Amino acid sequence: MKTSKFSDAHKAFILKQGDDGMQVDEICRKAGISQATYFNWRKKYAGLLPDEMRRSKALEDENYIDPTGLQGPDVRHVDSRYKSRRTGLAPLERRIKEICETRVGYGYRRVHVYLCCDVWEINMRKTRIVYNGSGLPLHKRPERW
């Protein structure tokens, strides 16, 4: 979040000018803020000294609830990253190599059919990726006339 260019003491000074009876539009023009900002500050910090403002900000930070479901300002968002649910591919690679040893001329498409018969829930793309990754050669399709 963007930090304010006004310190707590400066905010307190601006609010005190309004309490002393100075016109709001004149205060805002001199300070370079909008009237909405002035009234938001007044609603939030009315009658507080700079130390009390800092204390209230610290309480807000302490009670902050992260919209991602994580609690507190100290929590790093590294924990909220995507975690893959994919299991290891070693058993699948072993099964593909077994099929390729017994059926020498088979490519990944025929191997995929065998895997589906063996009740492996895997799609064609994943079969091709694992087939290539295990060092087995892809067979070129013969050109059609």
Residue 125 is which amino acid?
A: R
Res. 95: pLDDT tops 70: yes
H-only helix segments in the chain: 8-19, 24-31, 35-45, 50-62, 90-102, 108-117, 124-133
Q: Residue range 37-42: average pLDDT?
A: 89
pTM beyond cutoff 0.75:
no
Q: Residue range 12-24: average pLDDT?
A: 86
What pLDDT score was predicted for residue 106?
84
Res. 1: pLDDT tops 70: no
What pLDDT score was predicted for residue 36?
92
| Token pair of 114 as six digits | 């065998």
Query: For 141, which DSSP code?
Result: P
